[in-house]
A and B are shown apart, each in its own frame.
Chain A
């Protein structure tokens, strides 16, 4: 049985430049997408804690709509659906990488909004009362007292979200983003070395996610010391 096994590990090694260019896009899309995702998440998360009905409902609808639909649908919708409309109206299309970045941003934004909301609401009411009774405005109380404490509590779930979003970029292979999985598929298509290539692709994702885990553990430990 095993004598028929014919694995060629030189294939993934020889296609490493291609796979590395895929990693580059995986990292760029995840990093830029998460950067904007955090901004969206902070704004929408604040909206979810707002007493203003309009802000609250707008942000709630955003969170429910994005969280309630698959990211693959969102990516296809952006790249094919929205592009179709753009093409017909302004004669312009967004590129696949840009579509990937936008998809990560709006998708992670919804989840990060819930992380932000949960962390802010977990800060004891007495903290706000102490700040306000010192005469600080509600903004200053939030900025100097609530946010720094809430931010610390956000870090573990944010790390989790970073890892999820990084892996989600692999879905953009279907919209022809040249990220890691897509590059792997292309190599498989020409070499048929599916086992070797997907093993290496999997390991490369693992290296990326473990790096995120490690960095976050460091940050957590540093914040613990303070």
Chain B
């Protein structure tokens, strides 16, 4: 198991957002997390690289126990790429600089080597011609593809996606999902919080349905979409499908 989550709880003040999550993800597995807003799915994802501190429970990622204070979280984060709903590109840098920053300043790679790899990654997401362009001159879909290339530049073992297409104009969603599909096919381990049921159905190995801070149901996509077992899953899927 590359991700093991054991009885994870997360509180914001008095509000308990995650109320005991148990979850395991295998290497090369693609897991989509769905659920109504406020169900805790984004918080759950953000706990997986400790962007949110954990209130109680245990998370082990690629052999690192995140809740152990001796764990070097910066090291773990290089192995876990993160893609955000709002892209969060660095606006003062070109696309290329966005991708090379962490390899050069974090890992100490030479600029030449990092740029070479970054150009290959930008090519992979179909943006080699935008290498020297600042984010303000990119479309949302292009920005998100640069953000994916940026995360891939650290050669992560796992990629986390936090509603990666929710901030995009509908016509730009496809190009981002296409890149994610390619990644899945290559065997990247992925945890994707998404509202794109088509993507979940087509690409996911497993779909997790969350509500009120717990995993209500999880199953293979064809099973969960055609034959949901839990009433809340049924109600949610009825509403959106």
Q: A140-B105, A140-B106 are in contact. Are A130 and B77 (CB under 8 A)?
A: no
A134→B84 contact, CB < 8 A: no
- B67-102 contacts to A, CB under 8 A, are 74-78, 80-82, 84, 86, 88-92, 101-102
A135-B102 Cα distance, complex, nearest whole Å: 7
| Residue from A126, A134, A226 in contact with B150 in the complex, judged by beta carbons closer than 8 Å | A134
Q: How many of B's residues come within 8 Å of A, CB to CB? A: 26
B75→A135 contact, CB < 8 A: yes
A149→B84 contact, CB < 8 A: no
Mark interface residues in A197-226 (1 if CB within 8 Å of B CB, else 0). 000000000000000000000000000001
Q: A136-B105, A144-B101 are in contact. Are A129 and B88 (CB under 8 A)?
A: yes
| Residue from A124, A133, A152, A226 in contact with B77 in the complex, judged by beta carbons closer than 8 Å | A133
Residue in A closest to B46 when the chains form the complex, CB atoms: A129
Interchain Cβ contacts within 8 Å, total number:
64
B102→A136 contact, CB < 8 A: yes
B106→A132 contact, CB < 8 A: no
B106→A127 contact, CB < 8 A: no
B154 at the interface (CB under 8 A from A): yes
Report the minimal beta-carbon distance from B79 to chain A, rounded to whole angstroms: 8
A137 at the interface (CB under 8 A from B): yes
Mark interface residues in A129-151 (1 if CB within 8 Å of B CB, else 0). 11111111100100011001100
B151 at the interface (CB under 8 A from A): yes
Chain A hits for B89, CB < 8 A: 130
- B32-55 contacts to A, CB under 8 A, are 49, 51
Q: A126-B86, A129-B84, A140-B105 are in contact. Are A134 and B91 (CB under 8 A)?
A: no
Report the minimal beta-carbon distance from A212 to chain B, rounded to whole angstroms: 25
A132→B51 contact, CB < 8 A: yes
| Residue from A126, A129, A133, A134 in contact with B101 in the complex, judged by beta carbons closer than 8 Å | A134
A129→B102 contact, CB < 8 A: no
A131-B151 Cα distance, complex, nearest whole Å: 10
Per DSSP, chain A at the interface is helix
- B104-141 contacts to A, CB under 8 A, are 105-106, 134
A130-B160 Cα distance, complex, nearest whole Å: 12
B74→A149 contact, CB < 8 A: no
A127→B90 contact, CB < 8 A: yes
A132→B92 contact, CB < 8 A: no
Chain B hits for A132, CB < 8 A: 51, 74, 77
Chain B hits for A131, CB < 8 A: 90
Report the minimal beta-carbon distance from B45 to chain A, rounded to whole angstroms: 11
Chain B hits for A127, CB < 8 A: 88, 90
B105→A144 contact, CB < 8 A: yes
A126-B74 Cα distance, complex, nearest whole Å: 17
Chain B hits for A124, CB < 8 A: 86, 88
A135→B88 contact, CB < 8 A: no
B90→A134 contact, CB < 8 A: no
Beyond A136-B105, A149-B91, 4 additional pairs, beta carbon < 8 A: A130-B82, A133-B49, A133-B51, A135-B106
Which are the 4 A-B pairs with shortest beta-carbon distances? A135-B78, A134-B102, A130-B88, A126-B88
* 23 A-B residue pairs with CB within 8 Å: A126-B84, A126-B88, A129-B51, A129-B84, A130-B89, A130-B147, A132-B51, A132-B77, A133-B49, A133-B51, A133-B82, A134-B77, A134-B151, A135-B77, A135-B78, A135-B106, A136-B74, A136-B102, A140-B105, A140-B106, A148-B92, A149-B91, A152-B92
